[in-house]
A and B are shown apart, each in its own frame.
Chain A
Amino acid sequence: MINKTKKNNRKLTKSDAIEAYKKMLLIRRFEEKAGQSYGLGQIGGFCHLYIGQEAVVVGLQMCIRDGDQVITTYRDHGHMLACGMSPDGVMAELYGRTDGYSKGKGGSMHMFSKEANFFGGHGIVGASVPLGTGLAFSNKYKKNKAVTLTYFGDGAANQGQVYESFNMAKLWELPCIYVIENNRYAMGTSVQRSSAQKDLSQRGISFGIEGEQVNGMDIESVIDAGKRAVTKVRNNGGPYILEMLTYRYRGHSMSDPAQYRTRDEVKEVREHSDPIESLKNLIIENNFLTEDKLQVLNAEIKQVVDQSAQFAADSPLPDPSELFVDVYQ
Chain B
Amino acid sequence: MKTEVYMPAMSPSMTEGTLTKWLVKVGDHLKIGDPIAEIETDKASMEVESQIEGVISEFLVENGQDQIAVKTPIAIIETNTSTEKLKGKLFTNTIDDQPKKKIIKDRVIDQDKKQDKISVREAIRDALAEEMRRDKNVFVMGEEVAEYQGAYKVTQGLLQEFGASRVIDTPITENGFAGLAIGASFSGLKPVVEFMTFNFSLQAMDHIINSAAKTLYMGGGQLNCPIVFRGPNGAAARVAAQHSQDLTAWFSHIPGLKVISPFSARDHKGLLKAAIRDPNPVIFLENEILYSDQESIEEDNDDVISIGKAKILREGSDITLISHSISLKMCLEASKKLAKKNIDCEVLDLRTIKPLDTKAIISSIQKTNKCVVVEQGWSQCGVSSEIISVIMENAFDWLDAPVLRLTGKDVPMPYAENLENLALPSEDELIKIIESLFE
Contacts and interface: CB of A to CB of B under 8 A. Distances in A.
A161 B171 CA distance: 12
Interface in A92-141: 100-106, 110-114, 119-124, 127, 129-139, 141
A123 B218 CA distance: 11
Contacts of B171: 164, 167-168, 171
A63 B219 CA distance: 27
Contact of A135 (B139, B165, B186, B210): B186
Contact of A102 (B178, B188, B218): B218
B216 A327 contact: yes
B219 A130 contact: no
B176 A329 contact: no
B83 interface: no
Nearest to B219: A112
Contacts of B129: none
B223 A120 contact: yes
Binding site secondary structure of chain A: mixed
A327 B216 CA distance: 7
B219 A161 contact: no
Nearest to A106: B218
A16 B176 CA distance: 37
A234 B383 CA distance: 49
Given A130-B178, A134-B186, A122 B211 contact: yes
B279 A329 contact: yes
B218 A110 contact: yes
B180 A137 contact: yes
Contacts of A130: 175-180, 182-183, 207
Contact of A138 (B184, B220, B258, B279): B184
Contact of A127 (B173, B211, B222, B224): B211
Nearest to B178: A130
A69 B187 contact: yes
Contacts of B216: 326-329
B220 A131 contact: no
B81 interface: no
Contacts of A147: none
A111 B215 CA distance: 9
Contacts of A138: 183-184, 186-189
A71 interface: yes
Contacts, number: 142
Contacts of A137: 180, 183-184, 189
Interface string A217-250: 0000000000000000000000000000000000
Contacts of A136: 183
B180 to A, nearest CB: 4
A190 interface: no
A71 B220 contact: no
A133 B279 contact: no
B206 interface: yes
Given A123-B210, A329-B224, A101 B219 contact: yes
Interface in A289-329: 325-329
A86 interface: no
A98 to B, nearest CB: 9
Contacts of A119: 183, 186-187, 223
Nearest to B214: A110
Contacts of A71: 183
Contact of A112 (B179, B181, B183, B223): B223
A100 B171 CA distance: 39
Question: Among the interface residues B170, B177, B178, B185, which one has the most CB atoms of the partner chain A within 10 A?
Answer: B177
Contacts of B221: 103, 325-326, 329
B223 A135 contact: no
A326 B217 contact: yes
Given A133-B179, A134-B181, A134-B183, A141 B189 contact: yes
Given A141-B165, A164-B176, A135 B222 contact: no
Contacts of B256: 327-328
B64 interface: no
Contacts of B182: 130-131, 134
Contacts of B218: 102, 105-106, 110, 112, 121
Contacts of A114: 222-223
Question: Among the interface residues B176, B207, B211, which one has the most CB atoms of the partner chain A within 10 A?
Answer: B176
A142 B187 CA distance: 10
Nearest to B180: A134
Contact of A124 (B170, B180, B184, B206): B206
A281 B217 CA distance: 44
16 contacts: A106-B218, A110-B218, A120-B219, A120-B223, A127-B179, A127-B207, A127-B210, A130-B175, A130-B183, A134-B180, A138-B187, A161-B176, A161-B179, A165-B176, A168-B171, A168-B176
Given A100-B220, A103-B221, A133-B180, 14 more contacts: A69-B187, A101-B219, A106-B220, A110-B215, A124-B210, A131-B182, A134-B184, A135-B184, A164-B176, A168-B170, A168-B173, A168-B176, A328-B256, A329-B221
